[in-house]
């Protein structure tokens, strides 16, 4: 490797990035951390939606309001973002994605 260059990186099946030559113990640690829940932030709307579907499988999305959705999100166990950052456009986008993903799951 030339001075000042970073080591070449490879993709692991878990989606983690690892320098070439990483030993198996380090790979096991990285793989285990990929399986643990990640903190949820407002910008991770898809992950929020997946957690909402798992936690509230029988919710009536046609009657779900933004305030109810907000309460459901901020009470998710892995949600760590500032609740004050929520706004109507963000919640509407999450609700749209929630509806689309939940109806897709129902059709399977």
Q: For 17-57, what is each residue's pLDDT tens digit?
A: 434 444 444 444 444 444 556 899 999 999 999 999 999 99
CA dihedral of 52, 57, 62, 63, whole degrees rounded to 10: -80
For the full predicted model, state whether its pTM sits above 0.75: no
pLDDT of residue 50: 95
CA distance 95 to 81: 18
Domain 45-107 coded CATH 1.10.10.600 = yes
**Domain residue ranges of the chain, discontinuous segments joined by +:** 1-36, 45-107
Q: How confident is the model at residue 104 (pLDDT cuts 50, 70, 90)?
A: confident
pLDDT in tens, 44-100: 999 999 999 999 999 999 999 999 999 999 999 999 999 999 999 999 999 999 999
Q: Distance between CA atoms of 91 and 89, rounded to whole angstroms? A: 6
DSSP state letter for 76? S
Give the C-alpha separation, 6 to 53, whole Å.
Answer: 41
Q: How far apart are CA 102 and CA 58, in angstroms?
A: 10
């Amino acid at each position: 490797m030339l001075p000042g260059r970073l080591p070449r990186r490879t993709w692991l099946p878990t989606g983690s990035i690892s320098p070439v030559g990483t030993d198996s113990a380090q790979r096991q640690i990285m793989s285990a951390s990929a399986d643990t829940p990640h903190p949820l932030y407002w910008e991770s709307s898809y992950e929020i939606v997946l957690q909402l579907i798992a936690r509230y499988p029988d919710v009536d999305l046609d009657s779900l309001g933004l305030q109810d959705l907000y309460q459901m999100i901020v009470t998710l166990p892995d949600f760590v973002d500032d609740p004050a950052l929520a706004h109507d456009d963000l919640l509407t986008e999450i609700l749209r994605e929630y509806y689309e993903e939940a109806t897709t799951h129902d059709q399977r």
